C-alpha cells in the first residue's frame, strides 16, 4: 500500500511539474483511489508502443482503472485543470500508427486487470457497470476494455454469442467500436458498431453518460466509429444470438477477378434471405506471390493442397488467384440439411471446379482462427515486427480498376502478408455514426496486412512497403478511385477534413460539444492537442 502511495504521489508530482497543473495534489490523490496511476517504466514502455511498431510516444503516466469512476475522475481532472493534459484510452494497443498513444499525457489501460463487475452506478443512473449476460434480452454488458475473446467465452456459457465479429478476437470492445469492427459477417449483420444497443461513455468533460438510440443519442452515434474523440467507452451492451455449435468452412479459387467479385457480390446480396439460403460469412483474399505457403492465414490448407493450388492455371492472369472464403454455421437441428444447403449455394458460383477446400470445426475454433496463426508467428519471432498495414474501403464500381492497378500492378509479385478483399452492404452501416464509408451501395474492404522484415530482401523492408502504400494512394488519387481509409491515419487536419468529407462539420461540432478541450485520443492527430 505504501509503495502504491509513493508511486501515485511521484506520478502526480511529475504530472504537475510537466504540465503545470494548478490543482492541489492531495485532491488528485483522492481522485485515483480505486485503481492505479503508474509510472513504472514497463507500463510506460508498453503504452508508448503499438502493434504497428512504427511510432512511439511516451506518456507521463499510465492509469489502470478499477472502474468507470476512475476514468471519470481522471478525465475530469484533465478537463478542469488550468493547463490540461491528454488522456487516451488504450484497448489492446493493436493500432498501427500510434492512435492510442498520449505523448506527455496519461494512457488509460482499459484491458487487463480484474475490474469486471467492480463498476459503480453513476449518479442518476440505474444500470450497474459490469459484466452481465441477459438471456432474455439477448445482450451482454461488457467493460470497454474487455477483449472479444473474453466476451465470447462469457456468452458461450449461456449458449449465446455476438453476431458481428472481427477476424481476430484479441482486440478490445472499446477499440473496435471506436473504428467499426468488421469481418465476414458484416454483409449480413453490419459492423460491430451496428450491433451495440447502449454504451456508457466518459466524455472529454469528465461526465459519465449512458447513451443509446433513445438516450443521449448524439453522443451514442458520435462514439461509434468515433476514433476515441468524444469519450471513453466504459461499458457496451452487445447484441447476442444463439451460438451455433459448428462451422463448415469452405474455400474456393478463381483465376478470373470479375467472376470472383460477381460471386462475392451475389452472396452478399442474399442478406435478406432466410439463413438456410445464404452463407453466414463471406470474405476472400488475393494470392499474389509464393502462393499460400508463407501466408499466415493459410493454415486452413492441408500440406497436399498447395500442390493442387499450383496446378490451377493462373498464368493468363499474371499468376494471381483469388480465394473466396465462406462459412455456414450449424447445430444439431440443421446438421441433416447443411450439405444440401451448401451444395445449392455453391452451384450458383463460378469458381475453378477442382478447387473446393472444406473443413469442419467448432464455432469457437473458427472465430479464434487468427490467434493460432499469431502463436505460430510469435514462436518464430515474426509477430513483434513493424506492420505497415493498409486498410481501404473501395467502392464497388472501381474494384476492377483497383485490381488492375494494385494487385496486378503495384504489388508486383510480393505481398509480405495476407491481402483480404470482401464486399459489404452499405445499408448495414448507420450513417449517423462517425465512421465514413464510400458513397455506394456496396463497397469492398481491401486489407494489405504486411509485416516488414530484415530478411535481406529489399521488398520486405519497412521502407519499401511504406513507399508501396504511398504509391497505392497516389494511384487511387490519379485514377479517381474514391477510397476511404479504414482505421484511418493522417497527419494534417486538411487530410482529416477530406477523409470525413460532408461529415466533417458534424464531426467537428461533436468534438466541440463532447471534448471541447481536445483532451481525448490525441494519438489520432485529428485536432491540435489539449488547450
Binding of ligand FAD at residue 320 (CB under 6 A)? no
Confirm if 174 and 145 have CB atoms less than 8 A apart: yes
Contacts by residues 268-273 (CB-CB < 8 Å, ≥ 24 positions apart)? 268/187, 268/188, 268/423, 268/424, 268/425, 268/442, 269/425, 271/187, 271/188, 271/425, 271/428
Q: How big is the site for ligand FAD, counted in residues (CB under 6 A)?
A: 36
Separation CA 164–CA 146 (nearest Å): 16
Stretch in the footprint of ligand FAD (CB under 6 A) among 31-39, 85-93, 207-215, 245-253:
85-93
Binding status of residue 99 toward ligand FAD by CB under 6 A: yes
Among 243, 264, 524, 527, binds ligand FAD (CB under 6 A): 524
Nearer to ligand FAD, 405 or 523 (CB): 523
Q: Does 172 bind ligand FAD (CB under 6 A)?
A: yes
Is 518 one of the binding residues for ligand FAD (CB under 6 A)? no
Cβ 95 vs Cβ 50: under 8 Å? yes
C-beta closer to ligand FAD: residue 226 or 405 = 226
Q: Give me the residue label for grid cell 473501395.
A: 394
Report the C-alpha dihedral over residues 252, 406, 524, 103, rounded to 10 degrees.
Answer: 100
Q: Nearest distance from residue 524's CB to ligand FAD, in Å?
A: 5
Angle in degrees, CA 166, 171, 173, rounded to 5: 85
Closest approach, Cβ 196 to ligand FAD, in A, equals 12
Site for ligand FAD contains 88 (CB under 6 A): yes
Q: Would you say 108 and 232 are in contact if contact means Cβ atoms under 8 Å apart?
A: yes
Candidate residues 65, 119, 144, 206; the one interacting with ligand FAD per rule CB under 6 A? 144
> Please, which residue, 215 or 378, has the CB nearer to ligand FAD?
378
Site membership for ligand FAD, residue 176 (CB under 6 A):
yes
Q: What is the DSSP string of 254-270?
A: ES-HHHHHHHHHHHHHG
By the rule CB under 6 A, 59 interacts with ligand FAD: no
**Residue 300: closest CA among 383, 359, 225:** 359
Residue with grid cell 490523490, as numbered in its chain = 29
Closest CA to 481 of 419, 389, 399: 399
Q: Does 181 bind ligand FAD (CB under 6 A)?
A: yes
Site membership for ligand FAD, residue 476 (CB under 6 A)? no
CB count in 10 Å sphere of residue 472: 22
- Listed ranges 79-87, 95-103, 291-299, 425-433: which one lies at the site for ligand FAD (CB under 6 A): 95-103
Part in contact with ligand FAD (CB under 6 A); list of ranges 89-97, 289-297, 325-333, 509-517? 89-97
- Active-site residue set: 94, 167, 283
Residue 168 touching ligand FAD (CB under 6 A): yes
Of 179, 195, 298, 434, the one binding ligand FAD (CB under 6 A) is 179
Binding interface with ligand FAD (CB under 6 A): 50-51, 88-95, 99-100, 110, 144, 166-168, 171-172, 174-176, 178-183, 227-228, 232-233, 487, 521, 523-524
Amino acid at each position: 500500500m505504501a509503495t502504491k502511495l509513493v508511486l501515485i504521489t511521484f506520478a502526480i508530482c511529475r504530472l504537475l511539474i510537466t504540465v503545470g497543473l494548478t490543482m492541489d495534489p492531495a485532491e488528485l490523490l483522492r481522485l485515483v483511489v480505486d485503481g492505479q496511476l503508474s509510472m513504472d517504466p514497463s507500463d510506460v514502455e508498453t503504452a508508448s508502443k503499438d502493434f504497428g511498431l512504427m511510432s512511439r510516444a511516451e506518456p507521463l503516466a499510465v492509469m489502470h482503472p478499477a472502474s468507470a469512476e476512475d476514468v471519470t475522475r481522471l478525465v475530469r481532472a484533465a478537463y478542469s485543470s488550468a493547463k490540461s493534459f491528454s488522456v487516451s484510452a488504450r484497448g489492446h494497443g493493436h493500432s498501427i500508427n500510434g492512435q492510442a498513444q498520449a505523448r506527455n499525457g496519461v494512457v488509460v489501460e482499459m484491458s487487463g486487470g480484474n475490474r469486471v463487475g467492480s463498476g459503480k452506478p453513476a449518479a442518476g443512473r440505474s444500470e450497474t457497470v459490469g459484466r452481465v449476460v441477459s438471456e432474455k434480452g439477448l445482450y451482454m454488458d461488457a467493460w470497454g476494455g474487455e477483449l472479444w475473446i473474453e466476451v465470447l467465452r462469457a456468452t458461450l456459457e449461456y449458449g449465446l454469442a455476438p453476431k458481428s465479429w472481427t477476424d481476430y478476437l484479441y482486440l478490445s470492445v472499446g477499440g473496435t467500436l471506436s473504428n467499426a469492427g468488421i469481418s465476414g459477417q458484416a454483409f449480413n449483420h453490419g459492423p460491430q458498431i451496428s450491433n451495440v444497443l447502449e454504451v456508457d461513455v466518459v466524455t472529454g468533460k469528465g461526465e459519465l453518460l449512458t447513451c443509446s438510440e433513445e438516450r443521449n443519442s448524439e453522443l451514442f452515434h458520435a462514439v461509434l466509429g468515433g476514433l476515441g474523440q468524444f469519450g471513453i467507452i466504459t461499458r457496451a451492451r452487445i447484441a447476442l444470438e444463439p451460438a451455433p455449435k459448428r462451422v463448415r468452412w469452405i474455400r474456393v479459387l478463381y483465376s478470373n477477378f470479375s467472376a470472383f467479385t460477381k460471386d462475392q457480390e451475389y452472396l452478399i446480396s442474399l442478406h435478406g434471405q432466410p439463413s438456410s439460403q445464404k452463407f453466414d460469412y463471406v470474405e476472400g483474399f488475393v494470392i499474389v506471390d509464393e502462393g499460400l505457403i508463407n501466408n499466415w492465414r493459410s493454415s486452413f490448407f492441408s500440406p497436399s493442397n498447395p500442390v493442387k493450388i499450383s496446378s490451377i492455371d493462373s498464368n493468363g492472369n499474371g499468376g494471381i488467384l483469388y480465394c473466396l472464403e465462406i462459412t455456414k454455421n450449424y447445430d444439431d437441428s440443421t446438421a441433416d440439411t447443411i450439405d444440401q444447403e451448401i451444395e445449392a449455394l455453391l452451384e450458383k458460383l463460378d469458381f475453378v471446379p477442382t478447387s473446393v477446400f472444406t473443413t469442419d470445426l467448432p464455432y469457437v475454433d473458427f472465430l479464434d482462427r487468427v490467434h493460432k496463426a499469431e502463436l505460430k508467428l510469435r514462436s518464430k519471432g515474426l509477430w513483434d515486427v513493424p506492420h505497415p498495414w493498409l486498410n481501404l474501403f473501395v467502392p464497388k464500381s472501381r474494384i476492377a480498376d483497383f485490381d488492375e492497378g494494385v494487385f496486378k500492378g503495384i504489388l508486383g509479385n510480393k505481398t509480405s502478408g495476407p491481402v483480404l478483399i470482401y464486399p459489404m452492404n452499405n445499408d448495414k452501416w448507420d450513417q449517423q455514426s462517425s465512421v465514413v464509408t464510400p458513397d455506394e451501395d456496396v463497397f469492398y474492404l481491401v486489407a494489405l496486412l504486411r509485416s516488414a522484415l530484415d530478411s535481406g530482401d529489399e521488398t520486405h523492408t519497412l521502407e519499401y512497403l511504406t513507399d508501396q502504400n504511398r504509391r497505392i494512394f497516389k494511384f487511387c488519387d490519379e485514377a479517381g478511385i474514391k477510397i476511404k481509409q479504414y482505421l484511418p491515419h493522417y497527419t494534417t487536419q486538411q487530410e482529416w477534413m477530406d477523409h470525413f468529407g460532408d461529415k466533417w462539420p458534424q464531426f467537428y461540432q461533436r468534438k466541440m460539444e463532447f471534448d471541447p478541450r481536445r483532451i481525448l485520443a490525441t494519438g489520432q492527430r485529428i485536432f491540435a492537442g489539449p488547450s
